[in-house]
């Protein structure tokens, strides 16, 4: 409540100056830990969390000590825990404390998921990045930033920060690694760095992938005449893996040594729950239309009878226009749709559910026949599980491995879709 009052009465420029100075103070207070690590930032709209984890996993496979911070999890060498803060980027002092912990644990690399809202609030300002990966850019957080152009500007500020940061003696360069297949990639060429490297499957790139294959949903592809097999689903994960391989190669590691590294999925990202049931259950984040579109595409190659989709949409300044869009997508692609609560914040959860449901109805779904509305998310999930028959796939999206539902006055209600499903199956 106090934060909301401050935002209303304090001029934005003054507030941003305060955020910037606070970030610098936090870094100084903890002894500028980012100057003692090689910092890899990952930004974009979709795939950030997964790419952060994959980069860390590749580095560990190569014998390196790493730390990471993402929407889903934190890691300091062998210690790993879920992100229960409901923030992609922690507060400035928390971030610097985490980086200091990585230094004290003997980590050489830190992989930091860096969001547009984090950049806007200068949470990146006290971090000396060495390499930044750009995944993609699609319309998201439009209301929060006041339009796509402003959203793009916030993303670009990270690369400007990279280009102006002091080069470290033990690394000696600043690097951008970017998805060449994304139309926004060329805009990053204006930032002066030591190396600008591209990856992609469609356009000619420095790290050129090819022959994406989906076998029973699992994706594989080729690069440098080597086949990369994964236990991951979807074309989008080919991009996440390729981005990670490219970044680690630019850190100076031989590509041939990464080929046989086993990469594991990320909690709450296309996570399958197996409790002996005769139908499939998948939990994923996919909070906005583009990520959901990619997920639906990936599910086409997974054998199933009916698709039962449990979803909602976020409140609290997230783009209201996407609510009926998500519902319409589910209405078209799923056999049964269950609309439920997600993170309403101070918005009316019933209104959000009705907005999402309106899209499903437009797509031809009928309430209480193949479309169900349930404000209580646990009951919504339970409804889907009860409707599931042998061979069906129950898809639960919107929260992934998040640990809370955020309601009015930023009240946090403990919740984990994965735990809920397991308990209900028992």
What would the pLDDT profile of 275-293 be if each residue is shown by its tens digit?
999 999 999 999 999 999 9
**pLDDT(3) > 60:** no
Regarding whether 180 and 284 lie in a shared domain, the answer is no
* Residue that finishes a domain, picked among 203, 226, 257: 257
pLDDT, residue 8, reads 61
In a domain, 418, yes or no: yes
Tokens of 117: 């809202």
Who wins on pLDDT, 6 or 198? Answer: 198
The bridge status of strand 280-284 relative to strand 393-397 is parallel
- CA atoms of 209 and 199, how far apart (whole Å): 7
Regarding whether 234 and 152 lie in a shared domain, the answer is yes
Give the Å distances, CA to CA, from 147 to 4, 68, 234, 292, 326. Answer: 21, 30, 29, 21, 19
3-state secondary structure of 123: coil
pLDDT tens per residue across span 227-249: 999 999 999 999 999 999 999 99
| Cβ pair 311, 340 in contact under 8 A | yes
303 exposure class (CB count in 10 Å sphere: 0-12, 13-18, 19+) = exposed
What is the rounded average pLDDT of the residues 96-118? 96
Q: What is the pTM of this model?
A: 0.92
Residues whose CB is less than 8 angstroms from the CB of residue 139 and which lie 6 or more positions away in sequence, other chains included:
148, 151, 290, 319
Range of the domain at 230: 2-257
pLDDT, residue 143, reads 60
- CA atoms of 75 and 157, how far apart (whole Å): 26
144 exposure class (CB count in 10 Å sphere: 0-12, 13-18, 19+) = middle
pLDDT tens per residue across span 333-384: 999 999 999 999 999 999 999 999 999 999 999 999 999 999 999 999 999 9
Nearest to 46 by CA among 282, 202, 209, 234: 234
For residue 5, the surrounding DSSP H or E stretch is helix 2-9
Regarding whether 247 and 308 lie in a shared domain, the answer is no
pLDDT, residue 67, reads 98
* Residue that finishes a domain, picked among 228, 257, 286: 257
Nearest to 192 by CA among 210, 207, 206, 173: 173
Tokens of 270: 């296309």
Regarding whether 393 and 344 lie in a shared domain, the answer is yes
**pLDDT(9) > 90:** no
Tokens of 370: 């193949």
Regarding whether 138 and 277 lie in a shared domain, the answer is no
The bridge status of strand 280-284 relative to strand 307-311 is unpaired
* Residue that finishes a domain, picked among 257, 291, 320: 257
Q: In what order do the strands lie in the sheet with 218-223?
A: 79-82, 73-76, 66-69, 109-113, 38-43, 131-134, 175-179, 195-200, 207-215, 218-223, 226-233
Regarding whether 204 and 299 lie in a shared domain, the answer is no
**pLDDT(328) > 60:** yes
Mean of the per-residue pLDDT values of the chain: 93
In a domain, 160, yes or no: yes
User: In the chain, what percentage of residues exceed pLDDT 90?
Assistant: 83
In a domain, 265, yes or no: no
- CA atoms of 62 and 65, how far apart (whole Å): 9
What is the rounded average pLDDT of the residues 172-187? 96
**pLDDT(318) > 80:** no
pLDDT tens per residue across span 141-156: 556 666 688 888 889 9
pLDDT tens per residue across span 42-91: 999 999 999 999 999 999 999 999 999 999 999 999 999 999 998 889 99
In a domain, 266, yes or no: no
Regarding whether 349 and 203 lie in a shared domain, the answer is no
Regarding whether 324 and 185 lie in a shared domain, the answer is no
In a domain, 415, yes or no: yes
- Centroid of chain to Cα 227: 26
CATH number of 413's domain: 3.90.190.20
**pLDDT(215) > 90:** no
| Cβ pair 110, 37 in contact under 8 A | yes
Structural domain count of the chain? 2
What DSSP letter does each residue of 223-288 carry, written as one string? ETTEEEEEEEESHHHHHHHHHHHHHHHHTT--GGGTTT------TTSSEE--SS-SSEEEEE---S
In a domain, 55, yes or no: yes
In a domain, 204, yes or no: yes
In a domain, 264, yes or no: no
Tokens of 345: 């914040």
The bridge status of strand 131-134 relative to strand 175-179 is parallel
Regarding whether 411 and 312 lie in a shared domain, the answer is yes
CATH number of 29's domain: 3.40.1190.10
Regarding whether 6 and 103 lie in a shared domain, the answer is yes
Under the banding of pLDDT at 50, 70 and 90, the label for residue 2 is very low
Regarding whether 338 and 219 lie in a shared domain, the answer is no
What is the rounded average pLDDT of the residues 187-208? 97
Count of residues making up the chain: 426
Who wins on pLDDT, 298 or 5? Answer: 298
Regarding whether 250 and 280 lie in a shared domain, the answer is no
């Amino acid at each position: 409540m106090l934060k909301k009052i401050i935002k209303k009465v304090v001029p934005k420029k003054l507030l941003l100056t305060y955020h910037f100075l606070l970030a610098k103070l936090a870094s100084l207070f903890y002894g500028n830990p980012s100057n003692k690590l090689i910092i890899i930032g990952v930004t974009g709209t979709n795939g950030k969390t997964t790419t952060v984890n994959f980069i860390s996993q590749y580095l560990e496979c190569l014998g390196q000590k790493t730390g990471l911070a993402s929407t889903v999890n934190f890691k300091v060498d062998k210690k790993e825990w879920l992100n229960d803060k409901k923030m992609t980027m922690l507060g400035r002092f928390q971030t610097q404390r985490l980086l200091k912990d990585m230094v004290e644990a003997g980590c050489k690399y830190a992989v930091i998921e860096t969001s547009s809202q984090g950049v806007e609030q200068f949470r990146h300002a006290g971090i000396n990045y060495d390499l930044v990966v750009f995944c993609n850019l699609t319309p998201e957080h439009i209301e929060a930033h006041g339009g796509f152009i402003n959203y793009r500007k916030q993303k670009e500020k990270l690369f400007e920060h990279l280009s102006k940061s002091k080069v470290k003696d033990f690394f000696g360069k600043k690097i951008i690694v970017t998805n060449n297949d994304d139309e926004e990639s060329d805009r990053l060429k204006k930032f002066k760095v030591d190396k600008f490297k591209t990856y992609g499957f469609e356009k000619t790139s420095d790290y050129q992938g090819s022959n994406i294959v989906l076998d029973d949903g699992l994706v594989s592809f080729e690069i440098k005449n080597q086949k990369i097999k994964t236990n991951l689903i979807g074309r989008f994960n080919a991009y996440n893996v390729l981005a990670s391989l490219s970044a680690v190669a630019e850190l100076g590691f031989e590509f041939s040594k990464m080929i046989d590294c086993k990469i594991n999925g990320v909690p709450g990202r296309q996570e399958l729950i197996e409790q002996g049931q005769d139908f499939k259950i998948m939990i994923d984040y996919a909070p906005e239309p583009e990520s959901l579109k990619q997920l639906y595409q990936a599910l086409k190659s997974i054998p199933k009878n009916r698709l039962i989709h449990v979803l909602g949409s976020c409140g609290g300044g997230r783009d209201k226009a996407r609510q009926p869009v998500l519902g319409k997508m589910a209405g078209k692609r799923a056999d049964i749709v269950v609309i439920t609560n997600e993170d309403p914040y101070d918005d009316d959860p019933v209104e959000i559910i009705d907005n999402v449901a309106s899209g499903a109805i437009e797509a031809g779904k009928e309430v209480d026949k193949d479309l169900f509305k349930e404000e209580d998310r646990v009951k919504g999930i339970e409804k889907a599980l009860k409707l599931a028959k042998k061979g069906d796939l129950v898809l639960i999206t919107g929260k992934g491995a998040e640990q809370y539902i955020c309601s009015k006055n930023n009240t946090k209600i403990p919740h984990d879709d994965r735990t809920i499903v397991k308990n209900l199956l028992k």
